[in-house]
Homo-oligomer: A and B are copies of this chain.
């Protein structure tokens, strides 16, 4: 089955702006759009880029087929000229971006789209939808995995978000270090490791908790996770060990005072000799609740709602802004920087490059400059994603996951504080000379 077109996952104005700019030829001016965040969500120390891989895939499917064009024509959204232009549309420009999984800060140009205005403006809505959602989830997820330390987190939030957003959320969580997801579509589509426990409904289906546990262990083996909080937790733990023996994989506690119950359950398991049986806790956990359970004998965290809703910030609020365009349509017309006049919402003109300055391996400044070259130490942050219309930046998801771990480890340790604060490194703008002087 051919993958469906993504072309209508778009705001109408992209097409009417295109139509107006095509009519007078201005549409063919070269343009540079940048995706960036004006600020991080209130008090967050860093953001995490996610969605890049999904975006590259979606851009390849951004085509206008005959049915789509007749819909647009019938609704009088486009005229014949625009429809003809769209019929042969594919993005033929260049895209650079922060590599997926890397951290970002206010002003970081996490995506740079260069092409004609016509071809680049069309990608605004789709780019923002994907990056805003996935980066919001990954940014929240990263705080959770930081709070959990070495304890794994399993993702189980599908039911609390749109059914397709759930698949993307599982992917973003994996980039930020989650161990597994409950979402089967994410397992299939992205090769994520999947996992699951069982629900209270399962226990309630049987005439007793014991019969439910016997059925589950019989079918799924002793390494399964038994849910122990349907009736009496301590009694359930005894029943569980009675049935599964000391090889019982895990027990799950999904309600109540999780810290107290985890201690009780650990004591009960240990008293029964089930010292290897792990304790999974779940139930409205977020990064703060995870941190508060540090001293409790918890082996695995299950996180749902807080993950898929970005723990209070369901969108990264990234914007897609025209920062430069040529003064004419000839290929050699010079680029000029442009920006809306604004107080309080600074948009820096001009196409930018970015570098994370490091001192002794620790990030100190996000340098965003209109000059590509720079003699500062540090990592070049923009990588080529699309070159003359060809996707060159697709990579295995594991690369993004490993990159995130490295990128986060490179931040000052205060990045991992959960309390509100400023971005953990400052963003400095300018041409390289000025920046070098300031950074020295």
**Hey, which chain B residues are within 8 Å of A125, CB to CB?**
158-159
**Hey, which chain B residues are within 8 Å of A124, CB to CB?**
159, 199, 201
**Hey, which chain B residues are within 8 Å of A168, CB to CB?**
162
A305 interface residue (CB < 8 Å to B): yes
B215 touches A21 (CB 8 A): yes
B129 touches A166 (CB 8 A): yes
Q: How far is the CA of A320 from the CA of B4 in the complex (A)?
A: 31
Point out residues on A near B: beta carbons under 8 Å.
Answer: 1-2, 4, 6, 8-13, 15-17, 19-24, 26, 29, 31, 33, 58, 68, 71-72, 75, 77, 79, 117, 121, 124-126, 128-130, 132-133, 156, 158-168, 182-185, 187-188, 194-202, 204-207, 211, 214-216, 218-220, 224, 229-232, 255, 305, 308-310, 314-315, 317, 320-322, 325, 327, 338-342, 345
Chain B CB within 10 Å — which of A20, A166, A231, A325 has the most?
A20
Least distance between A439 CB and chain B CB atoms (Å): 31
Selected A-B contacts with CB under 8 Å, 23 pairs: A8-B187, A11-B159, A11-B196, A12-B184, A16-B196, A16-B198, A17-B198, A19-B220, A20-B202, A26-B211, A71-B188, A75-B187, A75-B194, A124-B201, A126-B163, A129-B159, A129-B161, A132-B160, A204-B340, A205-B338, A229-B340, A230-B340, A255-B345
Q: How far is the CA of A342 from the CA of B167 in the complex (A)?
A: 31
Least distance between A431 CB and chain B CB atoms (Å): 21
Least distance between A371 CB and chain B CB atoms (Å): 22
Kindly identify which residue among B24, B129, B160, B194 contacts A218, using a CB–CB cutoff of 8 Å: B24
A11 touches B156 (CB 8 A): yes
B220 touches A16 (CB 8 A): yes
B219 touches A19 (CB 8 A): yes
Given contacts A1-B4, A77-B184, contact A205 B21 (CB under 8 A): yes
B215 touches A15 (CB 8 A): no
Chain B CB within 10 Å — which of A22, A72, A205, A341 has the most?
A205
**Hey, which chain B residues are within 8 Å of A166, CB to CB?**
9, 129
**Hey, which chain B residues are within 8 Å of A183, CB to CB?**
9-12
A9 touches B185 (CB 8 A): yes
Q: Closest B residue to A7 by CB, please name it.
A: B184
Least distance between A72 CB and chain B CB atoms (Å): 8
B325 touches A8 (CB 8 A): no
A-B pairs, 3 with minimum CB distance: A13-B196, A12-B196, A128-B159
**Hey, which chain B residues are within 8 Å of A1, CB to CB?**
1-2, 4
Q: Closest B residue to A316 by CB, please name it.
A: B160
Q: Closest B residue to A121 by CB, please name it.
A: B201
Not counting A12-B183, A19-B219, A24-B218, a sample of 8 additional A-B residue pairs whose C-beta atoms are within 8 angstroms of each other reads: A19-B220, A23-B215, A24-B214, A26-B205, A133-B163, A159-B320, A161-B314, A309-B315
B165 touches A162 (CB 8 A): yes
